[in-house]
Amino acid sequence: MEWSAEGILLSVRKHGENAAIIETLTAEHGRHAGLVRGGAGRRYTATLQPGNQLALTWRGRLEENLGSFSRVELVRSRMGDVVGDREALAVLDSARALLCVYLPDREVLTAMYHATDALFGVLSAPDARRLAYARWEVLLLSELGFALDLERCAVTGAGEGLAYVSPRSGRAVTAQAAGAYAEKLLKLPDFITRKGIAPTKAELHEAMLLTGYFLENWANPAHDQQRTPPARERLVALLSRAS
């Protein structure tokens, strides 16, 4: 078996004396791991940085084998976009950690790949990355089978004035319809459903509290997870301090 594609590097771990096992995300083959001979050596130091876009060729005797990458070439480095920017680095780390934990191995999720590529492409722009990341987590929930309905009010059917999300159904609710039950609902930041709004750090933190609830209570039990990845928790903590 053999395939060639571009992919995003999600993780690297040393294997043996000089090799490495890498996890990548491609549009055609999903989250896919493989061995890189010499991957722990100096030759690959700049190439095997998480978040980088790579040109890959994977080979394996059988499709289900770990296999190896015979070609690993740097297409685009993203380290320059996050160096010296703690928030940008935390966003990158959170996204790749979530993908490694939740995405099924080798399942094709094209929308998730393109959304991740777009998110990593705006890491150096604070407004754009905050908006992209919040919507990226909403998409992740959807791709995992836990889609939130944020287009219309679950009570009135209205598409305007959406302010909350039901923790039981994942459906949006207007402020008027929420009434006395507002305290039992999750807050829905305006920027998630309205175009042209650049979220602040505080608003991204608020959005992550929303999606985090469904990761912890819907996605985690389904994937036998005890907790969401520490990298995401670090991003939440960073935004909390800043806001």
Domain boundary among 60, 77, 94: 77
| Largest distance between two CA atoms of the chain | 63
Helix (H, G, I), strand (E, B) or coil at 89: helix
Backbone angles phi, psi at 64, to 5 degrees: -85, -5
pLDDT in tens, 30-82: 999 999 999 999 999 999 999 999 999 999 998 888 999 999 999 999 999 99
Residues 46, 140, single domain; the answer is no
Residues 130, 214, single domain; the answer is yes
Q: 63 is in which domain, residue-wise? A: 2-77
Tell me which amino acid residue 10 is. L
Q: Find out whether 165 and 210 touch, Cβ atoms under 8 Å.
A: yes
DSSP 8-state symbol, 42: G
Residue 208 lies in a domain: yes
Residue 141 lies in a domain: yes
Residues 106, 29, single domain; the answer is no
Count CB atoms within 10 A of the CB of residue 166: 18
| pLDDT for residue 196 | 81
| Residues ≥6 apart with Cβ < 8 Å to 93 | 50, 231, 234, 235
Residue 176 lies in a domain: no
Helical pair 126-143 and 201-214, crossing angle rounded to 10 deg: 10
CA 82/CA 197 separation, integer angstroms: 23
Residues 210, 142, single domain; the answer is yes
Residues 57, 8, single domain; the answer is yes
Tell me which amino acid residue 91 is. V
| pLDDT for residue 5 | 98
Nearest C-alpha neighbor of 65 from the set 105, 20, 110, 115: 105
Domain boundary among 27, 52, 77: 77
Return the structure tokens found at 169.
Answer: 């159904």
Query: Which stretches of the chain are DSSP H helices?
Result: 79-82, 86-102, 110-121, 126-143, 175-178, 190-193, 201-214, 220-222, 230-242
| pLDDT for residue 217 | 96
Residues 60, 146, single domain; the answer is no
Burial class (CB in 10 A: 0-12, 13-18, 19+), 30: buried
Look up tokens 């690959």; give the residue: 44
| pLDDT for residue 226 | 86
Return the structure tokens found at 144.
Answer: 């995992």
Residue 183 lies in a domain: no
Residues 197, 121, single domain; the answer is yes
Which regions in the chain score pLDDT beneath 70? 243
Domain with 8 in it: what CATH number? 2.40.50.140
Nearest C-alpha neighbor of 193 from the set 236, 226, 229, 149: 149
| pLDDT for residue 197 | 85
The number of domains in the chain is 2
CA 137/CA 208 separation, integer angstroms: 8
Residues 13, 73, single domain; the answer is yes
CA 132/CA 136 separation, integer angstroms: 6
